[in-house]
Each structure stands twice: as structure tokens, then as C-alpha cells.
């Protein structure tokens, strides 16, 4: 899969675990990304595994030990 990034393009691979509930990057092939509306169920996982590896540019947000980590914008 090719993504345009200004005058450049980069490749991303579809992950086989995309959409799986997670709370940490180590549970996924790529990043564990936060869900916009967390489930009200007790013990629910706060994120899902990313659909691609790597995620396309912008300001990456992912979860480590259930806590939000925001990387510098690219």
C-alpha cells in the first residue's frame, strides 16, 4: 500500500491483527492506537491494533501500558 506524503510516498504493510483490542504496542504487529470512544465495560481494552505498519504520517498516538503516548508530528 502506498501513501502520499507531500512530494514523497512511503510503503505500509497491512497487519493481520488490525482491529484487535489492545492496551500496549507489544500486543500488536504495529502500534496499539487509542479508540475514540472507550467502552464502558469494566476491564475493556482502551485501544485497537493499527491497520498498517507503519501508520501514515501526522501526529502518531499509541498506547504503552494503557497510557497514551504522542510522538512528534511528522
The ranges assigned to domains in the chain are: 2-70
Residue 18: how many CA atoms within 13 Å on its side-chain side? 10
- Say how many C-beta atoms besides its own lie within 10 A of residue 41's C-beta: 7
pLDDT class for 21, splitting at 50, 70, 90? very high
pLDDT in tens, 23-56: 999 999 999 999 876 555 556 678 999 999 877 6
CA distance 64 to 1: 26
For residue 20, is the peptide bond before it cis, meaning its omega torsion is within 30 degrees of 0? no
Amino acid at each position: 500500500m502506498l501513501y502520499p506524503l507531500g512530494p514523497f510516498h512511503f510503503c505500509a504493510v497491512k497487519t493481520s491483527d488490525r482491529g484487535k483490542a489492545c492496551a500496549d504496542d507489544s500486543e500488536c504487529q504495529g502500534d496499539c492506537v487509542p479508540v475514540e470512544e472507550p467502552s464502558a465495560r469494566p476491564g475493556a481494552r482502551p485501544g485497537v491494533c493499527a491497520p498498517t505498519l507503519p501508520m501514515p504520517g501526522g501526529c502518531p498516538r499509541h498506547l504503552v501500558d494503557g497510557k497514551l503516548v504522542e510522538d512528534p508530528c511528522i
